[in-house]
Amino acid sequence: MNNILFHNNLYKKNSWFTFSNIDQHIWYIKYGLSCTDSEMDHFIVAYQNEFTKINKKSIIFNGLNIEYLSFGQSMKMANMMQDMRDIHNQKLSCFAIVLSNYIIIGILNFIFKLVPPVRPYIVCNTIEKAKNFIKEQNPDIYNP
């Protein structure tokens, strides 16, 4: 059974995703290979619930393991982004999406055409590039 936990900086353990913090300013979300529609729904609810609790943060979405997203799951992500535009403007500094699968990058580009992101972002292929982007976007935090 997948229960919501907060233990050792890990918020949610699920067969498809995990939430944790890299530091007090960077929220880290890591995904598995693929998900069921139910797991996607669970992710969206958990993400929205967690977002209401945080102060302004940046996010690294680690999708290096993702091999498949259905059209329906992609539309759920687009709808979630649309629904969260105001809160993303308020609480999201910037974000980085780490991907290497060109099919998933194509799906992401499609989603971003439907719902353009409201905050600065990068799509890159390493966690290190993602961290560097976030640090560059937040000089008052990382280079005071």
Which pLDDT score is estimated for 14? 60
Q: Which ranges in 30-143 belong to alpha helices (H)? A: 37-51, 71-83, 85-91, 102-114, 127-137, 139-142
Query: Rounded distance, CA 92 to CA 69, Å?
Result: 24
Which pLDDT score is estimated for 82? 97
In the chain (144 residues long), the average pLDDT of successive 10-residue segments reads 38 74 94 93 92 88 96 96 95 97 95 96 98 95 80
Provide the domain count of the chain.
1
Which pLDDT score is estimated for 142? 86
Show the domain range for 133. Answer: 4-142
Query: Rounded distance, CA 139 to CA 144, Å?
Result: 7
Which pLDDT score is estimated for 144? 67
Which pLDDT score is estimated for 73? 96
CATH number at residue 101: 3.30.750.24
27, 21 contact by CB (below 8 A): yes
pTM of the predicted protein model: 0.88
